[in-house]
Amino acid sequence: MTDKIEGILRRYEEVLRELESAGMQNETERLTALMKEEAQLAPIAECRRALDEAEKTEEDSRLLLKSEKDPEMREMLKEELEDAQEKIELLTNKMKVLLLPSDPDDRRNAIVEIRAGAGGEEAALFASEIYRMYTRYADSRHWKTEMVSLNESGIGGFKECTFRILGEGVFERLKYESGTHRVQRIPETESGGRIHTSTVTVAVLPEAEEVDVEIDMKDCRFDVFRATGNGGQCVNTTDSAVRLTHIPTGIVISCQDEKSQLKNRARALQVLRAKLYDRRKREEHEKRADLRRSQIGTGDRSEKIRTYNFGQGRVTDHRIHLTLHKIDSILNGELDEMIDSLIRFDQAEKLSAERSTEQ
């Protein structure tokens, strides 16, 4: 591990020197790449510096303890030594996490698809609540959301919904949300007071760039139609909505949120690019079984990942066996505690897999 850290620190110094070099401000593309690399390497460099300081403090405390005779001073030095040892342990664990292979998609924006599953109108209503949960979470992190397409049910629920979330590290935090979300409650439409179980599926895709996926326009068929639902006078009276069919894969995408047919076409291509990129990633993951075993569920649409039980006021994530009795807060967008727990669990699993590989 030491050699790896030293190599990273040397590269960090090289990046800093290049960023400070004359003329770099005129090379926009290179400057952007260097700034991204610097942001990735800086936490490791900072952790190494803090670890060096803690190790120096530990060494000094040990040496002073050998010669110190005064009882009060010895007690103080012992406390300093214990604090330094505790800090070293924490920083060493932090460094191990920082050195884990990073997902190159973590810094990307995300495209989120929400679909009502089993449960009819109740599932559609819950789908709209899940959408609200994510948009509120995005607001709390100062991310931007953009609707791509929406198919509403008769009583205000969502049959299907696709939207973008734009910001720093969106996919890194939301990738664990893919899967089946189950709700247990008495629906508004239930007159007998019986608890129903309904499901909603969520797919979180990293937004792909044109350089990531090349789309042959000969493989795409575009149909236009009149948008329905909310969206304003122009949206509902012109053929601005677009349905894109990708012939080789059979993927169909509808986009109607924009008033312009060209903008809807561009949005549809954006979603298609993300789907094709996600499909390619899944194929690669299937070839690397070890990687799949070291990950908690981050994309299997059929996997039941979470239950929202209104009667008990709890939300349970089945992958990490975590239950939080704060359903109202979570549905109001307070997802950090749940997501942080998933990230820590995922990191622990990957560290364990690395140790097994080393042995």
Task: Give the model confidence (pLDDT) of 8-22 as tens digits.
Answer: 999 999 989 888 887
Q: Measuring CA to CA, how many Å separate 314 from each of 163, 211, 318, 330, 332? A: 27, 43, 12, 9, 14
Task: Tell the residue number behind the tokens 């390497």, with chain if given.
Answer: 41
Q: What is the pTM of this model?
A: 0.77
CA distances from 252 to 44, 60, 179, 213 (A): 43, 66, 20, 17
Domain that holds residue 79: 2-98
Q: Which two tokens stand for residue 340?
A: 């942080």
Q: What integer pLDDT is reported at residue 300 of this predicted model?
A: 46
Q: Which carries the bigger pLDDT value, residue 37 or residue 248?
A: 248
pLDDT of the residue at 228: 63
d(CA 259, CA 276): 26
Q: Do 151 and 284 fall into the same domain?
A: yes
Domain co-membership, 76 together with 174: no
Q: Is residue 123 part of a domain?
A: yes
Residue where one domain finishes, among candidates 98, 123, 151: 98
Same domain, 120 and 269: yes
Q: Is residue 24 part of a domain?
A: yes
Name the domain count of the chain: 2
Residues 127 and 90 placed together within one structural domain of the fold: no
Average pLDDT for 93-116: 89
**Cβ proximity of 52 and 2 under 8 Å:** no
Residue 116's Cβ-side half-sphere holds a number of Cα atoms within 13 Å equal to: 20
- Residue where a domain stops, chosen among 98, 124, 143: 98
Query: Is 291 domain-assigned?
Result: yes
- C-alpha span between 160 and 149 (Å, rounded): 8
Cβ atoms < 10 Å from Cβ of 305: 23
Residue 354 maps to a domain: no
Question: 114 and 93: one domain?
Answer: no
Is 334 among the domain residues?
yes
74 is a domain residue: yes
- Considering the domain architecture, whether residues 10 and 123 belong to the same structural domain is answered as no
Q: Are residues 71 and 153 in the same domain?
A: no
Pairing assessment for the beta strands 304-309 and 196-206 based on DSSP bridges:
unpaired
Residue 234: what pLDDT?
A: 42
